Amino acid sequence: MLLTQQGEKKRLRRGNSVRVGDTIITNKRGQAQLTMIDGTKISVRPDSKFQIEAFVAEGKPKDQKTYYKLLKGGFRSVTGKIGKRNKSSFRLSTPVATMGIRGTDFTGKYCADDCPAAAGKNGLFVDVISGGVSMANDGGTFDLNKDTNGYVSDPTNVPKPIAELPDNLLSPKAKKSKNGKRRNKPKYPSPEEEMVQVGLYVAPNDKKAILSEAMDAGVPPAEIMSGADTAGLEAKNFLPDLIEKGKEKGLDPSDFVESILDSGINSDTAINNLMSHSPEAASDILTAAIATGDFDNKELKKSASRAGVPAKDIESADTVGNLFALPPEVKKLLKEDNNKKADADDEEDDEPRKKRKKRAKPKELTPSNDSGEVASPS
């Protein structure tokens, strides 16, 4: 629901605009995903109230600002162009502290006797996914980065680090990471994956449009699948739309095999659905699946047979797929190498801007009366 600055209540729908002074209100089963005109992405969690306090996109960077207020519940914010140009232009206020950013993706939850997951502990809990956040109130200031969780109980106590966040407090779908420094940190979906997840959850009737927009925006198919799966959709209900959109982009159904594995969804069921929906490509799908070495080949052959692939073509696909399959020890080395590269990318995200290569000057924003657009309303 939307509460306007004039006190008018409106039901939000996907694609509606929001303006300065508006408050987004979600119920216990609702969520909202806002995309502001500067590219800032904001997820409003269930049972929350989130207000757009000020938004100025025109003028010089020092004159621009994006001010938000969390009145109740939780959020996730991914900084857009305005905050990236001038970090002091971003501010997010809560009843117990005000937060600033250092080029960031972060999430938080304000508890006021309404957080069972926090076991009765009230206050603001914050987790930084990338970049850094400054928490400040009358008690003092505390800076945290992606290796630190933050907590503040009330406006007079200084914000402080907290060793571990309560399970499922900031995001019901966040999973604990067991790697390195972030072993006590939840693992969050990418902002793009979350857009798909929230969009499909609150607007399932817009499924085809949401999946199509995600593909057009360049979201990896694996993230789209993961988001759809988290939203409660079965593979048979979203794979056909992805396949058809993929064909428009020159993708073959067999190109989705690796994405299925990377997405974390039930791969056996998904491959079976992939073959049954694309019988003309079932032989190529079978070859690609066998080549990964991650499936039960007997079950794959049964799925191919049910899709109408002739026995001789199944055996041929089996032969070719096994020729391309990598030995387990090689796959393990490749996976370890990819993990190292991912860790290196995370470290680079945290480097001060002055150490990075000079970037091209961003284009000026086009002034607008609207502050943003609701991607997925409650």
pLDDT tens, the chain, 378 aa long: 889 888 889 888 888 889 999 999 998 888 888 989 988 999 999 999 999 999 998 888 888 999 999 999 999 999 988 888 888 899 999 999 999 987 789 999 999 998 888 877 899 999 999 899 999 999 999 999 887 889 999 999 999 998 888 877 876 555 544 444 444 555 778 888 888 888 887 788 888 999 999 999 889 999 999 889 888 889 999 999 999 999 999 999 999 999 998 888 888 899 999 999 999 999 999 999 988 888 888 899 999 999 899 999 999 988 887 777 756 555 566 556 666 655 565 555 545 444 444 444 444 444 344 556 554 444
Helix, strand or coil, per DSSP, at residue 135: strand
CB under 8 Å to 21, separation ≥6 — which residues? 4, 5, 51, 52, 53
What residue type is 173 in one-letter code? K
Whether residue 140 contacts residue 167, with contact meaning beta carbons closer than 8 Å, is answered with: no
Closest C-alpha to 204, from 230, 235, 233, 225: 233
Number of DSSP helices (H) and strands (E) in the chain, helices first: 11, 19
356's tokens:
């990075």
Whether residue 174 contacts residue 185, with contact meaning beta carbons closer than 8 Å, is answered with: no
Report the sign of the C-alpha dihedral through residues 223, 225, 229, 231, in that order.
Answer: positive
| Residue ranges per structural domain of the chain | 2-181, 191-328
Residue 73 phi, psi (nearest 5): 85, -145
How many other C-beta atoms can be found within 10 angstroms of the C-beta atom of residue 217?
Answer: 11
Helix, strand or coil, per DSSP, at residue 59: coil
108 sits in which H/E element: strand 105-111
For the domain with range 2-181, which CATH number is right: 2.60.120.1440, 3.40.50.300, 3.30.70.3040, 3.20.20.30? 2.60.120.1440
Residue 170 phi, psi (nearest 5): -85, -30
237 sits in which H/E element: helix 235-248
Closest C-alpha to 107, from 142, 146, 81: 146
Using a 10 angstrom Cβ sphere, with 0-12 exposed, 13-18 middle and 19 or more buried, the burial of residue 216 is: exposed
Which pTM was predicted?
0.72
196's tokens:
């798909």
The span from the CA of 205 to the CA of 211, in Å, is 11
CB under 8 Å to 345, separation ≥6 — which residues? none
